[in-house]
Every structure is written in C-alpha cells, then in structure tokens.
C-alpha cells in the first residue's frame, strides 16, 4: 500500500497517470472521509476511477457508484470434478447455456418464466415499498431479469485446484439499472448548476443527504442493487439446470457466493457513519467470502476478506483494464484471441477481441497487490466461456 496523499491510499502497483490524476481529483472532494482507497485493479472511469472505494459524509456521488448498479459475481461449487466432463462435447454445453440465457446488449427474455416469477414478485413489492415504478425507467424490466448483457459480463464453467467444477458468472442490473443511474447522475448535475457548485468534473456531481433527491436515489439504488443480485441468482439457476441436463445428474450445490462490486452501503469507518461507494471493488470484511474474476481466458479467485481497515474492508473486483476497448481492437488480433483461449471452449468470434486477456492487467499481479486485503481460498481455471457480443 502507498499513501499518495492524506486522503488517497493506493494498492495498485500497475497504474497510469490519467487514472492517478482522476483518483486524486475525487479524493479532494470536501466530504471524503477519511480517505479514498484505490484498489490494485484501478483504471480510468467516468467521473470516479473504476477500482476505487469512496467513503463520503452526508453526500453520495451517483457516478461513483457507476451506471451498472449492483454489478457483481455469483459462483456455485458443484459435486462434479473435471473427470465428469472428460470426453464430453463442451461446445454442446456452451450452446445449451447460450439458449437458456439471453446474451448481449438489448437481448431479453420473451416471457417471464416460472423460476423468475417469485423474484419479479419480490422486486414489485420492494418497488412499491420504495415508492417508485420501475416501468418509468424500463417498461420491459421484468423481461430483463435472467439476462447477461455484454462487455466483460460472462458465464463460465471452471475447475479449482482440486479439479472440482464451479459455475461462475458476472452481471448486473441491466438496462433498468443503467437508466436509474443515468437519471440520478443527471439530477445531481442539474442541482450543481442550479446552486452554482464548481465541480472539477461534472461527473463528480453529488446529492446531499437529507434532500428529497438523495432519499429517492437511495431507494431506487437499493432496488437496482437487489435486482442485480436476483438477476444473477436467476441466471445461475438456469446454468445449474443446463449442467444437470448435460450430465444427466442433479447438481448438488456445495457452496453459493453472490457479491456486488458496484454499490453503496452505509457503514462505520474510523469513528464515522459514512456512505461507502465501491466502484469496481468488493466488500472484504474479515471472513466474508468474495469473488475476483480474471479476464477472459485467465484464472479467477474465490477469496475471503481480511477486513483491512485502511481499505475500508474492501478488495479488487477483477483484473482491471490496461487498454480501452477501441485501443484493444487496434492493438490485438483475432488470432491472438484464439491463442489466448487455447483449451477453453468459447464462441470463436472477433467480437471479443476487446476482451482479450492482454487488454487487462495481469490478474496474478492484482492478487499479489491484494495480499493484505484478501486470502485466496480457491483458484479457478476456465473450461467453458460464454459471453454476449
């Protein structure tokens, strides 16, 4: 860990100047308490750095939570081992998962299926209690539950160091969460202009605790966070079903972990009750299980938090980009992607060039930087990768 200023601590050994400058700017906001914690996977984001933990007194920066509210990971450890998959056509399993779960931006379910209905009911009740209608943001939000999205979101079948099979996926609150986030970012920016607040970056506009705008944001934010959590649960149930059908045996779940990495919670740190916005970071209280994925084609990790107080009980959420998507497409080739994915069943298309492992920081370096934040329980290696364009 390196103390860059009184209000900025960094665990990132690999970081560029633009990202550092952005983090320093955020750390100077007057309501930061006690300091911003920069995670090992930190990289340039919108307004606030991806891979930062931002504790605030009496205010929240909506863009510091991010536009994919509640994005995170879920993993299930099964009773199967790698030998149960040997000799089987893993392309068939990949295709079954792709048929069961809508992939890519703008792709949703055609109807609300039976497994999703109780979760829809739960979200409807929560929205009513929160005093808002999610349809005002997305009329088809019910059809979005149980869908993956695109970008760095994925579904994987992996094995750990004991060759035990894990099911692993990464997704968030989809279009409805994005629209909720976008609305409140715009509200914060409008209020900043209305009150002549001079901001170093328009995306650092904030909402003040105690105002109607803040209260509404918190209610809708929590709804979107819960949508994201249930979205992962619904998709994982479908993955479990497809694996059961593929192997002809019911999956016995040995363990299930579900954690956010784009979210806000009220927590006590250094003697103050603060709002902790983790933008690309997971909660890592002592003993708390967590999930840190690598990039496409590399290892992922099941971890346990160490409760490091300087990090605000946090840890990285993944590898962190080194190349923007456009830069990755200019730099790397389809053949390089194929080489990186040797031995892994995936949909072989140049649509995923910007997700090539070389576009990300080495996950081994990120995990070494995080040695005082988490302990590694399991190291997972991919057998099957599913992504949306």
Q: Where are the alpha helices (DSSP H) in 33-164?
A: 62-65, 90-100, 117-130, 141-144
What is residue 318's DSSP assignment? Answer: S
Token digits of residue 326:
């456009």
Residue 273, domain member (yes or no) = no
User: What is the per-residue pLDDT for 67?
Assistant: 94
Residue 182, domain member (yes or no) = yes
CATH code assigned at 253? 3.90.1860.10
**pTM reported for the whole predicted model:** 0.96
Q: Domain range spanning residue 293? A: 71-258+285-387
Q: How far apart are CA 369 and CA 209, in angstroms?
A: 34
Residues 6+ apart with CB under 8 A from 98: 347, 386
Residue 344, domain member (yes or no) = yes
Residue 211, domain member (yes or no) = yes
User: What is the per-residue pLDDT for 296?
Assistant: 87
Q: What is the pLDDT along the chain (389 residues), one digit of tens a residue?
A: 999 999 999 999 999 999 999 999 999 999 999 999 999 999 999 889 999 999 999 999 999 999 999 999 999 999 999 999 999 999 999 999 999 999 998 999 999 999 999 999 999 999 999 999 999 999 999 999 999 999 899 999 999 999 999 999 999 999 999 999 999 999 999 999 999 999 999 999 999 999 999 999 999 999 999 999 999 999 999 999 999 999 999 999 999 999 999 999 999 999 999 999 999 999 999 999 999 999 888 999 999 999 999 999 999 999 999 999 999 999 999 999 999 999 999 999 999 999 999 999 999 999 999 999 999 999 999 999 999 98
Report pLDDT digits (tens) over 4-52.
Answer: 999 999 999 999 999 999 999 999 999 999 999 999 999 999 889 999 9
Residue 97, domain member (yes or no) = yes
CA neighbor of 192 nearest in space, from 29, 50, 36, 44? 29
- The per-residue b/e assignment along 256-285, b for 16 or more CB within 10 angstroms, e otherwise, is ebbbbbbbbeeeebeeeebbbbbbbbbbbe
Q: How far is CA 151 from the centre of its chain?
A: 11
Query: Reduced to 3 states, what is the DSSP secondary structure of residue 231?
Result: helix
Residue 42, domain member (yes or no) = no
Residue 275, domain member (yes or no) = no
Is 43 catalytic? The answer is: no
For residue 248, the tally of other CB atoms under 10 A from its CB is 6
Phi, psi of 80 (to 5 degrees): -80, 160
Give, rounded to a whole angstrom, the gap between the first and last alpha carbons of the chain.
37
Residues 6+ apart with CB under 8 A from 45: 22, 51, 52, 66, 279, 280
User: What is the per-residue pLDDT for 389?
Assistant: 86
User: What is the per-residue pLDDT for 47?
Assistant: 84
Q: How far apart are CA 291 and CA 294, in angstroms?
A: 10
Q: How far apart are CA 240 and CA 4, in angstroms?
A: 45
**Domains in the chain, number:** 1
- The per-residue b/e assignment along 293-310, b for 16 or more CB within 10 angstroms, e otherwise, is bbbbbbbbbbbbbbbbeb
Residue 214, domain member (yes or no) = yes
Number of helical (H) and strand (E) elements in the chain, helices listed first? 10, 17
**Which residue is catalytic, options 35, 317, 334, 378?**
317
User: What is the per-residue pLDDT for 89?
Assistant: 97
């Amino acid at each position: 860990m390196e103390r860059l200023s009184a209000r900025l601590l960094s665990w990132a050994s690999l970081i560029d100047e633009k990202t550092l400058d952005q983090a320093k700017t955020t750390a100077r906001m007057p309501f930061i308490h006690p300091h911003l914690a920069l995670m090992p996977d930190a990289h340039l984001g919108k307004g606030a750095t991806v891979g930062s933990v931002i504790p605030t007194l009496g205010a929240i920066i909506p863009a510091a939570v991010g536009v994919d509210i509640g994005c995170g990971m879920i993993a299930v450890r099964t009773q199967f081992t790698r030998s149960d998959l040997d000799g089987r056509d893993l392309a068939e399993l990949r295709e079954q998962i792709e048929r069961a779960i809508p992939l890519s931006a703008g792709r949703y379910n055609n109807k609300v299926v039976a497994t999703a209905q109780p979760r829809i009911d739960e979200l409807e009740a929560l929205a009513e209690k929160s005093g808002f209608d999610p349809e005002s943001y997305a009329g088809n939000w019910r059809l979005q539950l149980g869908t993956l999205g695109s970008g760095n979101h994925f579904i994987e079948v992996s094995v750990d160091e004991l060759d035990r099979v894990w099911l692993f996926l990464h997704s968030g609150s989809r279009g409805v969460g994005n629209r909720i986030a976008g609305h409140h970012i715009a509200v914060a920016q409008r209020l900043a202009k209305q009150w002549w607040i001079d901001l170093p970056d328009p995306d650092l506009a904030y909402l003040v605790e105690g105002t109607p705008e803040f209260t509404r944001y918190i209610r809708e934010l929590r709804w979107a966070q819960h949508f994201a959590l249930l979205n992962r649960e619904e998709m994982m149930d479908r993955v479990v079903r497809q694996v059961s059908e593929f192997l002809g045996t019911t999956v016995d779940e040995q363990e299930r972990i579900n954690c956010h990495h784009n979210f806000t919670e009220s927590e006590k740190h250094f003697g103050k009750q603060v709002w902790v916005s983790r933008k690309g970071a997971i909660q890592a209280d002592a003993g708390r299980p967590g999930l840190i994925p690598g990039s496409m084609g590399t290892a992922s990790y099941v971890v346990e938090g160490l409760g490091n107080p300087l990090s605000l009980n946090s840890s990285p959420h993944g590898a962190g980009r080194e190349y923007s998507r456009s830069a990755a497409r200019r730099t790397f080739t389809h053949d390089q992607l194929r080489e990186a994915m040797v031995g892994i069943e995936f949909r072989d298309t140049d649509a995923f060039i910007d997700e090539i492992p070389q576009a990300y920081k080495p996950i081994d370096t990120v995990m070494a930087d995080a040695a005082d934040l988490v302990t590694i329980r399991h190291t997972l290696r991919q057998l099957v990768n599913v992504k949306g364009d």
